[in-house]
Amino acid sequence: MADEKAVQAALDHEDVGTLRHYYSQMLLLRRFEERTSEMYVKAKIGGYCHLNLGEEATIVGLMAALTPDDYIFTNYREHGYILARGVDPAAIMAELFGKKTGVAGGRGGSMHMFSEKAHFMGGYAIVGGQVPLAVGAAYALKYQGKPGVVVAQMGDATTNIGAFYESLNLAKLWKLPVLFFVVNNGYGMGTSVENGSSEPDLYKKGGSFRIHGERIDGTDVLAVRDAVRRLRQRAEQEGEPAILEMTSFRFRGHSVIDADRYRDADAVRRGREAFDPVRNFGAILHDNGMVDDAFLRETAALVDQEVQEAIDFANGSPEPEVKDMYTFMYATPVPNTPDAQDAIRAVKINRGDM
């Protein structure tokens, strides 16, 4: 851990209420994901499901630096991002449960959270799919003369995808207000950064596009916030895109059903001990007299209650209706074709309606 005096000096400039807020938010993300994992095992949640455990400081630090004008595009590991952007946890849990009251009407699920109001433009399941879209949105902001920047969040392995390089090229060429926010959790599924990328210093990958890059300790919420603030301002005012590489430790397997056998169990245990952003931040605040035991206890109880209420809301919410199955689709099948009738019948049988 960092030198005590340096930490104290840095904290002296901070507002205690704000620091406590960051801690509470990080704990909310932690508990939300832990309970999400539990709900998945209970088969309340279907499909793929990826958690942000270990990435709480990266996410809360990012959101602390953004303004309401900014837009966010993420990969499929995005529950924490939409939570920290201030969207109601109950509507997020309901989306995970596939319920009508979810943020995407139960149509998106874990990988496709969305909120127009929060400028949260979605989780994307295709690795790298969100990156050119984010650059397009940044172009739209510039073209329309609107304030704000666009964040293109992605994982380490995504920086090996072709679309990433095309995006870097246009972002710099057209001087777009976009931040390439790379969460380096060490792995793309079972492939380590060293085994997957010829340049393991990911922040350097913008070099041949003349894009500035920095590596930040993604387990330090204040370091993340300050770096994003600085680079978002440059992106907005000077049209200078940047790559921010955030280092973190992936607490579990790639997804909730990945047994994580390719990592040494002892090393994982040690990593979780050393790089727990929530516990470490709580300890720093406690050691510096900014929170006491009662605060930590009460915050944990409040967060637990909020997540439980989200689960209860999701449980009690209705399923989407069969009649709305084709709403929002570009092409609506003619309901009288045998295919459409079969699809509707299959959904009804699955639900026990038939």
Ligand X SMILES: Cc1ncc(C[n+]2csc(CCOP(=O)(O)OP(=O)(O)O)c2C)c(N)n1
CB of 149 to ligand X, least distance (A): 21
CB of 51 to ligand X, least distance (A): 10
For ligand X, give the closer residue by CB, 127 or 344.
127
Is 195 within 8 Å of 263 (Cβ atoms)? no
* Alpha carbon 261 to chain centroid, angstroms: 24
For ligand X, give the closer residue by CB, 52 or 101.
52
216 binds, among ligand X, Mg ion, none (CB under 5 to 8 A by kind): none
For Mg ion, give the closer residue by CB, 107 or 254.
254
Q: What is the contact surface with Mg ion in residues (CB under 5 A)?
A: 155-156, 185, 188
126 binds, among Mg ion, ligand X, none (CB under 5 to 8 A by kind): ligand X
For Mg ion, give the closer residue by CB, 161 or 340.
161
Closest chain position to ligand X (CB): 155
CA distance 168 to 33: 32
77 binds, among Mg ion, ligand X, none (CB under 5 to 8 A by kind): ligand X
Counts of helices then strands in the chain (DSSP H, E): 13, 8
* Alpha carbon 266 to chain centroid, angstroms: 27
For Mg ion, give the closer residue by CB, 22 or 187.
187
Per DSSP, 332 falls in state: P
CB of 188 to ligand X, least distance (A): 3
Q: What is the contact surface with ligand X in residues (CB under 6 A)?
A: 75, 77, 125-127, 154-158, 183, 185, 187-189, 254
Is 24 within 8 Å of 289 (Cβ atoms)? no
CB of 206 to ligand X, least distance (A): 17
Spatial CA neighbour of 244 closest among 231, 262, 259: 231
Is 28 within 8 Å of 89 (Cβ atoms)? yes
Question: What pairs with residue 182 in β-bridges?
Answer: 154, 245
The dihedral sign for the CA sequence 52, 57, 58, 64: positive
CA distance 187 to 217: 16
Closest chain position to Mg ion (CB): 155
74 binds, among Mg ion, ligand X, none (CB under 5 to 8 A by kind): none
99 binds, among ligand X, Mg ion, none (CB under 5 to 8 A by kind): none
CB of 74 to ligand X, least distance (A): 9
CB of 198 to ligand X, least distance (A): 15
Give burial (CB, 10 Å; 0-12/13-18/19+) of 10.
Answer: middle
